[in-house]
């Protein structure tokens, strides 16, 4: 079955990024197709590469990136939410005159249309977060 | 239809709202702090009979309430969660 996931909450905020990650892994293990993972609102903070959590703790952002590489996942960050929170890729840095980028490998920044498209093309859209 | 509730009923009213809207033949899965709605003898225990209610086992265990879950609430793991999402005819998160 085709499943997409929306995450509205940042890493280490409550639990939703962890819940979504475990859900996506379980769905992949069962052979389902994850069409897209869409990061919205504070969820865009899952896509920074500059976090340094303690070594004995999980690295939420890196974990998404690794899962994306392993399963060729489409990890999309909402552009308007990213601009507000300072999640920046090369294109956004140039467009908004920023001197650095911080996007994690495997994520990309795009518009809300990607969420609508994911909902239309998937059999299920599962929302995690506040 | 699968409903997902992720907040404690003592923090937000999403569980109560969900139970008042869910059809009797639907399933409600409690995840994260939502598992507190499954506590035996709580103020919202009466709502548990309005639909089939299950709770995510790892979130129940993380909060140490395995021994205090109301009768009729089954525990499921993440694989069971995925099956509930794909089995029904839709999913609604009460965030």
Tell me the backbone φ, ψ of residue A41, rounded to 5 degrees: 50, -135
Active site residue A70: no
The structure's pTM equals: 0.97
State whether B78 and A15 contact (CB < 8 Å).
no
The CATH number of whichever domain residue B48 belongs to comes to 3.40.1260.10
**What Cα–Cα distance (Å) separates residue A114 from each residue in A64, A68, A81, B88?**
18, 17, 14, 25
pLDDT in tens, B32-86: 999 999 999 999 999 999 999 999 999 999 999 999 999 999 999 999 999 999 9
- Candidate from A3, A14, A129 with C-beta closest to B85: A3
The CA distance from A110 to the nearest CA of chain B, in Å, is 23
Total domains in the fold of chain B: 1
pLDDT of residue A130: 86
Decide if A74 contacts A37 (C-beta within 8 A).
yes
Residue B17 binned pLDDT confidence (cut-offs 50, 70, 90) = very high
CA A116 to CA A42: how far, in whole Å? Answer: 19
B35 touches chain A (CB under 8 A): no
What is the set of domains in chain A, with CATH numbers?
Answer: 2-128 (3.40.1260.10)
pLDDT of residue B66: 97
CA B17 to CA B10: how far, in whole Å? Answer: 13
Which of B3, B60, B21 has its CA nearest to residue B37? B60
State whether B78 and A123 contact (CB < 8 Å).
no
The CA distance from A23 to the nearest CA of chain B, in Å, is 6
pLDDT of residue A2: 98
ipTM above 0.90, yes or no: yes
Which of A101, A85, A100, A73 has its CA nearest to residue A46? A85
For chain B, the straight-line distance linking the first and the last C-alpha, in angstroms and rounded, comes to 16
For residue B20, give its domain range: 2-93
Residues from chain B that touch A16, judged by Cβ atoms under 8 A, are 6, 32
């Amino acid at each position: 079955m085709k499943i997409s996931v929306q995450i509205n909450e940042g890493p280490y905020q409550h639990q939703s990024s962890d819940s979504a990650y475990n859900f996506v892994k379980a769905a992949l293990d069962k052979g389902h197709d994850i069409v897209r993972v869409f990061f919205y609102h504070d969820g865009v903070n899952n896509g920074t590469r500059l976090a340094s959590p303690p070594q004995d703790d999980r690295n939420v952002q890196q974990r998404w990136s690794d899962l994306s590489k392993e399963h060729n996942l489409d990890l999309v960050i909402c552009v308007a939410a990213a601009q507000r929170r300072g999640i920046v890729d090369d294109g956004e840095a140039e467009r908004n005159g920023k001197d650095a980028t911080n996007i994690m490998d495997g994520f990309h920044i795009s518009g809300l249309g990607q969420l609508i498209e994911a909902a239309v093309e998937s059999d299920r859209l599962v929302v995690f977060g506040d | 239809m699968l409903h997902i509730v992720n907040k404690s009923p003592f923090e937000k009213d999403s569980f109560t709202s969900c139970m008042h809207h869910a059809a009797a033949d639907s399933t409600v899965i409690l995840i994260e702090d939502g598992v507190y709605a499954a506590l035996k003898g709580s103020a919202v225990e009466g709502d548990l009979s309005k639909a089939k209610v299950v709770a995510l086992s790892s979130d129940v265990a993380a909060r140490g309430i395995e021994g205090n879950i109301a009768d009729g609430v089954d525990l499921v793991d993440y694989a069971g969660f995925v099956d509930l999402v794909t089995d029904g005819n839709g999913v609604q998160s009460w965030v």
